[in-house]
Structure 1
Amino acid sequence: MGPSRTELMQFKVTPEERKLIENVAKKQGMTVSEYVRAAVIMDMVLEGEVGAMKVVVDSIGRKAVQVLRRRADRLADLGAEG
């Protein structure tokens, strides 16, 4: 798991913007917080912000480790069955 999120950021939107953000987040299988965080970070990456790129690389690294652990667990389970 990544670093704990303890900081709160708030911003105002119109009712139409809120509905759009909520609908798109739901379509993506994300919470509104996850969606907005990802959208903002991706915008910073596209603008060349190095700090944002590091956040993305760290996140990808953590996810890759999780996938590899699950795969290793499945292989171990298969070996135990054999």
Structure 2
Amino acid sequence: MNLQMRLKDEWRLGLSEGRAKGRAEGRAEGRDETMLSVIHTLQMQGQTQKQIVETLALMQKSSLAAAQRYYEQVAQSDNRGEE
């Protein structure tokens, strides 16, 4: 295989990997926005932080500890947006 063909193949591979990474980041960002909306809705309904974390754990099929970390991460990123 000549150099030009090899460079073209490597460029295509890099482009493909970049797109896949972009899609994954977009999905994660969308999930965070959705969960933030869920958190706000549950807060407006008067649920406590404990109840919200339990709901997140059920929704994400995760442990309470993982849901608590996620809640704190999403809530912290939301607070940064308000500053």
Give yes or no for TM over 0.5: no
Q: TM-score, normalised by structure 2?
A: 0.41
Higher helix share: 2
Larger Rg: 2
Q: TM-score, normalised by structure 1?
A: 0.41
